[in-house]
Amino acid sequence: MKPPRNPALTDRLGIGAMLALAVLSLVILVAPSIIVLMISFDTRAFVSFPPQGFTFDWYRQVFAQDVLVEAMMNSLQVGMAVTILCVLLGVPTALVCVRGRFPGTTALSVYVLVPHMVPGIVLGVAVLFAGALVGIGPSMGLQAISITVFVLAVMVRTVQSRLQRLDASLDEAAANLGATPFQALRTITFPLLMPAIMAGAVFTFIEGFDNISVAIFTHGFRDRPLPIELLAMVQSVNTPLVAAVSGVQILLAILALVAVSFSIGLDGVND
Amino acid sequence: MMQVPVAKAEQATSAAVLRIAAVSKRFGSMTVLQDCSLSVAEGEIVTLLGPSGCGKTTLLRCIAGFWNPEEGAILIDGQDTVQTPVNRRPVGVVFQSYALFPHLTVAENIGYGLRMRGLPKTEIAARVAAALETVSLSGLGGRYPAQLSGGQQQRVAIARVLVLEPRVLLLDEPFNALDAKLRGAMQVDLRQLIKRLGMTAIFVTHDQEEALTMSDRIAVMRAGRIEQVAPPEEIFDRPATAYVADFIGSSNFWQAEAQAGRVILPDGQDLSTSLTGPVRVMSRPHNLSLQPGALGPWQGRLLFQRSVGALVEYHVTTDSGDMRVMAMRRPAARQPVEGDTVTLGVIDPGLCAVYEP
């Protein structure tokens, strides 16, 4: 490889390009949310950009409409159910995948990923049919189950990667100091997995709250979740009310992240 | 008169805190420990020394109960522990990584074992304080492991097991995580601490200097077997096998013929042996002498020399092979230069060892 003629210049160009890309991707990530939030405060009764004026009216209307409040409550319940199911199923699965001493643990950890790789729509249809087979029709329960199947992999992977990076001798040390396997799990492994479980819980909750691709097939038709209600609204209503509903969802996601950052710190999520 | 040795032997057996009897361990088709036997007396520090893969850590893990041997027994105070669950064995392990619980404070780490035993809080607090005192960490009980230096972490790891008063202390390369500079002083400190507490300890290392500093006896391991168990001086002066001689310290080997119970050394002296036929003779570099000039039967050419403090290390090529000699520096005028003819001699034939070829 020939050394570049002017390394300082190419280096600077390279760094400049990287920075530009980083800024661009940040803008792409954040801009839609910002635009929606701006529109949600518009005083005019139609969606247009740039917005004019400033009002909280649309948010007041969101909470004044029973349909929307009910949808929000439904989504909150589904989100919580998904989170609880993912913790109950995902944490033991991750433990087995990493600590299990029998053949098939690798196969299991790959298998858990499969539903997450399948397009949500396909999974939604599959769960709908499977539910019909065992006599569970579209309902909040089936919706929670379907989204759990879809996002369980996130919980398993998050906990799994944390578990893999724990020093295996911590468990041995606990045993050597007199802890039974259960005591070691309770006093050492679980506390050290907590940041990963919390991070997994936040992501699965958000998915449970606003998933649409799977839920569109499995939700109860009388208990419509917020994203489905929003989809229906977009087709018939053209006021910033839609933007205000999105604003509520964005706010909820931010709140969840803030809660995590206060309890375990955002570094804990990366860990 | 005949009773005395018997009584002595019995005493020796009963004093053995730890007895490893013919232990073998396999992983699949690979045998990692083969017929290992070792007795450790009360208050003794025995080092398992060997290169990586020799089975020393496996043996330590078998004693701790993390793995179980397929054959043999591991007796602590005369009781076979092979069936004892890992959390009920009276052994304390200091891990290579120290394995301190990162989410617990120093005091909580040290009190962990007592808590698992369900002791009352006040007693735990008192014993933790005493343990902190023992390892000179009083006042650091509220810190987290990450806030301590490597040496302090090591002492917490030791205090954490000492507080449970184990019968045997197992230390798995406890100096690996420390700076080379710290190690020397820490080794002396640790040995003194273990001796002061009268603990029986098994210490695993691949570093022979560490082994020489720490041990009352050294067990040299090779490919799953214990080659020799002896005090450090004896391991160094009378290595039982060519492997031990080669592994500990530096050594010169050459071929010779043993006849009628004697081996003639290249300088004309002789040495008694039980072997006959072709043999290998070993001498430590400091057991060889070097004279400038052609003065005797064992002559060679000086290839290289370097000063090591007050000593000089010479590399000499001779008919018996290349030899290393360690000797005091001579006055400059009598110091040979590279390329000179020199004469070698064995200082004490009794310190040479004879092995099968």
CA distance A271 to chain B (A): 14
CA distances from B70 to A174, A200, B17, B74, B88 (A): 25, 42, 22, 11, 20
Tokens of A199: 């991070």
CA distance A107 to chain B (A): 22
Residues A221-231 as b or e (16 or more Cβ within 10 Å = b): eebbbbbbbbe
Q: Which of B154, B145, B220 is nearest to B187 (CA)?
A: B154
Q: Where do the domains of chain A lie?
A: 57-269
Are B164 and A177 inside 8 Å of each other by CB?
A: yes
How far apart CA A159 and CA A182 sit, in angstroms, is 18
Q: How many CB pairs under 8 A join A and B?
A: 59
Query: Is any Cβ of chain B less than 8 angstroms from the Cβ of A176?
Result: yes
- Read off the pLDDT of residues B5-36 as tens digits, 9 standing for 90 and up: 433 443 444 468 999 999 999 988 888 999 99
Are A178 and B95 inside 8 Å of each other by CB?
A: no
Give the residue-averaged pLDDT of B111-132. 94
Side-chain half-sphere CA neighbours of B181 within 13 A: 1
Chosen CATH of A57-269 out of 1.10.150.120, 1.10.3720.10, 3.40.30.10, 3.40.190.290: 1.10.3720.10
Are B95 and A172 inside 8 Å of each other by CB?
A: yes
Q: What is the pLDDT of residue B346?
A: 92
Residue type, B158: I
Q: What is the pTM of this model?
A: 0.79
- Find which of B95, B144, B173 to mutate to test the A interface (most A CBs within 10 Å of its CB): B95
Which DSSP string corresponds to A146-179? Answer: HHHHHHHHHHHHHHHHHHHHS-HHHHHHHHHTT-
Q: What is the pLDDT of residue A5?
A: 62
Give the residue-averaged pLDDT of B107-135. 94
- Report phi then psi at B341, rounded to 5: -80, 135
| Residue A188 with chain B: CB contacts under 8 Å | 101
Beta bridge partners of B285: none
Higher pLDDT, A9 or A85: A85
Tokens of B179: 């700076």
Are B96 and A169 inside 8 Å of each other by CB?
A: yes
CA dihedral A200, A202, A208, A211 (to 10 degrees): -100
Are A177 and B116 inside 8 Å of each other by CB?
A: yes
Q: Which of B237, B242, B180 is nearest to B210 (CA)?
A: B180
Burial of A167 (0-12, 13-18, 19+ CB in 10 A): middle
- Read off the pLDDT of residues A103-142 as tens digits, 9 standing for 90 and up: 888 888 888 888 888 999 999 999 999 999 999 989 999 9
| Residue A170 with chain B: CB contacts under 8 Å | 99, 101
Residues A184-201 as b or e (16 or more Cβ within 10 Å = b): bbebbbeebbebbbbbbb
Contact (Cβ atoms closer than 8 angstroms) between residue A176 and residue B84:
no
The ipTM of this complex is 0.81
| Residue B156 with chain A: CB contacts under 8 Å | none
Contact (Cβ atoms closer than 8 angstroms) between residue B315 and residue B302:
yes
Are B64 and A170 inside 8 Å of each other by CB?
A: no
Residue B180 pLDDT more than 60? yes
Confidence at B41, pLDDT banded by 50, 70, 90: very high
Confidence at A10, pLDDT banded by 50, 70, 90: confident
> Omega into A92 within 30° of 0, i.e. cis?
no
Are B99 and A187 inside 8 Å of each other by CB?
A: no
- Read off the pLDDT of residues B76-110 as tens digits, 9 standing for 90 and up: 998 898 889 999 999 999 999 999 999 999 999 99
Query: Is any Cβ of chain B less than 8 angstroms from the Cβ of A110?
Result: no
How far apart CA B216 and CA B198 sit, in angstroms, is 13
